[in-house]
Structure 1
Amino acid sequence: MSWPAVRDNTSPFERFLLGAPEGAVDKFFSSWSPDLIMHLRSVNSNVFMGIEAYVSRAWSIERSFDRWFFHAGSFLRMLEACDAVVSGSEAQQHLARHEFRGKDLDIYVPYHGLLRMGRWLKQQGFLYQASGGKHLLFDAAAIMLASAAGRDFTGYPGARFKSTVAFSTFNFVRPQTPSLKILAMDGAQVQLIAVCGDPIRFLIDNFHSTGVMNYITGTHAVSLFPRSTFVDRQMYVCQDTARDASVHQAWMAKYRDRGFTIVEAEDEVPNTPEVREWCRKIGDSRTWVLPHERSDFGQCRSNETAVAFGNYSLTWVSDDEEDTGYQ
Structure 2
Amino acid sequence: MDIDSIIDTGDPLYARLFARPPVYDLIFSCLSPRSLTRVALTCRAASSAAAEFKTRAFNINRHFSRYFTDPIAFRSLQARTNTLVSGSNALQFLDRTFYPESDLDLYTHPGHSFEVAQFLVQVQGYHYVPRELQVKDWKVATKSYWDGITAVSTFKKQCLDQECLTVQIIEASSSPFESILGFHSTCVMNFISSDAAYSLYPVATFENRASLGMPSSRSTPTAIEKYIKRGWRIYYIPTPNNLAFFIEHARWVYDEHTWRLPLNQTGIEKRPPLSPTSAPLGFNPVLFNGWKLRIPERQETVGGYECYYYPVRTTLFRYNYAISEEDLSFAIRDWAIQQGKYYHWQVSKEDWAWFDADIPGFLRKK
The bucket for the TM-score relative to the shorter chain is 0.7 to 0.9
User: Given the alignment of the two structures, is residue 271 of structure 1 paired with residue 247 of structure 2, yes or no?
Assistant: no
CA contact (8 A) 1:222 1:289 kept: yes
Equivalent position of 1:324 in the other structure: none
Equivalent position of 1:18 in the other structure: 19
2:250 alignment partner AA:
C
User: Given the alignment of the two structures, is residue 222 of structure 1 paired with residue 235 of structure 2, yes or no?
Assistant: no
1:290 is aligned, of 248, 258, 261, to: 261
CA contact (8 A) 1:93 1:102 kept: no
1:283 alignment partner AA:
Y
Cα distance, 1:269 vs structure 2: 5.5
C-alpha RMSD over aligned residues: 2.5
Residues 71-150 of structure 1 aligned to structure 2 (within 5 Å): 71-122=70-121, 123-143=123-143
CA contact (8 A) 2:28 2:50 kept: no
- Structure 1: gaps of 5 or more residues: 1-6, 144-151, 158-162, 296-327
1:197 is aligned, of 174, 178, 182, to: 174
Equivalent position of 2:352 in the other structure: none
Equivalent position of 2:156 in the other structure: 173
1:112 partner SS: coil
Using a 3 Å threshold, how does the CA distance of structure 1 residues 13 and 42 change in structure 2: closer, same or farther?
same
Using a 3 Å threshold, how does the CA distance of structure 1 residues 107 and 9 change in structure 2: closer, same or farther?
farther
Equivalent position of 1:209 in the other structure: 185
Whole-angstrom distance in 2 between the partners of 1:99 and 1:126: 22
Equivalent position of 2:54 in the other structure: 55
1:275 partner SS: coil
Bigger relative contact order, structure 1 or 2, given CA contacts below 8 A and separation 6+? 1
Cα distance, 1:71 vs structure 2: 2.0
Equivalent position of 1:321 in the other structure: none
Whole-angstrom distance in 2 between the partners of 1:133 and 1:221: 35
CA contact (8 A) 2:91 2:188 kept: yes
Using a 3 Å threshold, how does the CA distance of structure 1 residues 170 and 271 change in structure 2: closer, same or farther?
same
Using a 3 Å threshold, how does the CA distance of structure 1 residues 140 and 99 change in structure 2: closer, same or farther?
closer
State the number of aligned residues.
Answer: 258
Whole-angstrom distance in 2 between the partners of 1:63 and 1:82: 21
CA contact (8 A) 1:26 1:54 kept: yes
Whole-angstrom distance in 2 between the partners of 1:9 and 1:284: 44
CA contact (8 A) 1:68 1:187 kept: no
- What percentage of residue pairs aligned between the two structures are identical? 25
CA contact (8 A) 1:64 1:90 kept: no
Runs ≥4 residues deviating over 4 A = 7-10
1:281 is aligned, of 222, 247, 252, to: 252
CA contact (8 A) 1:173 1:189 kept: yes
Whole-angstrom distance in 1 between the partners of 2:99 and 2:220: 21
CA contact (8 A) 1:67 1:187 kept: no
1:254-307 Cα offsets, whole Å, 9 max, x none, are 111111101124x63643154335121112111000011299xxxxxxxxxxxx
Cα distance, 1:100 vs structure 2: 3.5
1:191 alignment partner AA:
Q
Cα distance, 1:86 vs structure 2: 0.3
1:293 alignment partner AA:
N
CA contact (8 A) 1:169 1:192 kept: yes
2:19 partner SS: helix
